[in-house]
Amino acid sequence: MRKTPSTVFAPGQAIRTSRLVYWHKGIATDQWLNGEQLVISCSGRAGKVVLEPMPVFTAGMGAEEMPQLSALSREIVLYQARQMLGKPYSLMDFNCEHFLYQAFGLTPQSPQFATLLGLIAGFALLRAI
């Protein structure tokens, strides 16, 4: 993944920002507010899919490009992301990764959440032994 020194990303580009223990993911848009690029993401803080300025999305942690998840054009990805604005957030069923996969025309999934559940199950199994 290529780190970008500025906060300018191509519209429809998948991006991510560190939250220290996980990656928060979203899609860069072609919209700007007060000189800041806007991002669409499924935000646990807001409880839904939102359109927000880059500094709100990154929470001061910076952002980087992610590889495109499918062959869909960025225009279609951005259109599909906009169709989900306002959709409620759910950690297990519709978090930022579910949103991203769905915008790219894929089956919604959250590999980060699945990994977390696997770690919890592994620790529980070790404690039981």
Q: Which domains does the chain have, with CATH numbers?
A: 14-128 (3.90.1720.10)
Q: Using CB atoms within 10 Å of the CB of residue 118, give its burial: 0 to 12 exposed, 13 to 18 middle, 19+ buried.
A: exposed
The more confident residue out of 116 and 21 is 21
Element (H, E) at 98: helix 96-103
Pairing of strands 48-53, 36-43: antiparallel
Structural element, H or E, at residue 128: helix 111-128
pLDDT(96) > 80: yes
pLDDT in tens, 5-43: 456 999 999 999 999 888 999 999 999 999 999 999 999
